[in-house]
Structure 1
């Protein structure tokens, strides 16, 4: 199978040079000049075998892109290319999961050598996964045919929903996930309990309840802003249509769209319970 690549670099000359080199090793199927463009690509569900990405870009950094994209596509390998030599930034890049850090100016031989190494790692990982799958089928023939455990399936559902809402990796999503999992098979309680008791169900201490409430309110408001922005740009945007009225009161969405249009600070209220019920429904696929 031909290897697939993506190139992310706000410098058009570097982007073109990388793509030309990588096309000798496979197919460059995506090129982006900003981190946001690359992130939308990964959040849409598309993937590549290897992504070469610049560290510093005008909108969001390569580190931020890798941090948010890797949980969605754990088999994609990331190689960072940059003029930056600061040890702290390099350490941060490796901490979020990159495979290699290449310093600019771009050297064709170095790019080719690194590409060979990451593709070999990709091939070995795929082989190992196939071996593990074969062994599992021998040991547990009934269980192994299930592609994923329930836990893995639920984790992926959370990740996809949070990615669609533009809040994947943000502070507060952990609490949202914890609440939904805590009330599994107890939707009536999630619908009827006072919100404070819902927060209390995942709080370690009484003092933590207020912090959880603030984080959840903040993250839902952020999600509202993201969805409203999509509606502002395109009223028929698929994410806007999918989430606007299901996760939020539509009056809230309309108010936030108007605020964005007029560049006003948000005063829109949010219906936390409606958001929680919608998230619960989507995660557990209740029709």
Structure 2
């Protein structure tokens, strides 16, 4: 499933003590929550932090609401997806150890592409108001181990204070490569959500996605913007032209142009078994959280390995 330059023991069969001295391979998306290794990002490239190399000190960090524009710039620069979703609440993790606050992480909570995604997961809550989707969560490689758990918990405190009672998040377990074979998305199982005791409720609907030559996905919503010339279609068209598609001619049929553009850039189909879905119920205590209905049965055990490459 994973390529590596040197043989390593199967991580799934190792004890937490044995894992202490085993560095994950570059291609490994995530490892078990018992592991002391934490994933970090910079310029859309992932790396690893070990808990023994300096733990997280909450006195050196603060959480602040973040302007959407600032959050978008950070995410586009560092997150492997290279995209930014619709955002309603954005938070920044700031490192204050040097005196001047430095943005070191961003969390984005926003509107789901379909209200049904939230309504089915949290049927008691008004979608996009009392329930939101956690669509981006990225920390720089300078953040020490365990920073993500503190950051996520503080985000939930802020959301609860603004009357948000539920959060749905997805982890994409499918590794993706460029047309030249470069790994750009390692495949995630939602390790941070598991470590934060999220309810695992299975996979989203399986589908076929359109994979562009740079390894990014052209999702259905983006394609629809081009076909219907809706707001944001220029960005999608510019993306395709940067990959080698011809510019659309005046008066051309947008749907036909999109078909030809995808063919021109060498887009390919990838069968996706569905992202892993996690649900958080927010409350001041366990009793309040338990009162919120889960729309799906909670499943055990948590998934531990990304899918094989498509």
TM-score norm. by structure 1 comes to 0.29
Q: Tell which structure's C-alpha radius of gyration is larger.
A: 1
* Higher helix fraction (1 or 2): 1
User: Structure with the greater relative contact order (CA < 8 A, sep ≥ 6): 1 or 2?
Assistant: 2
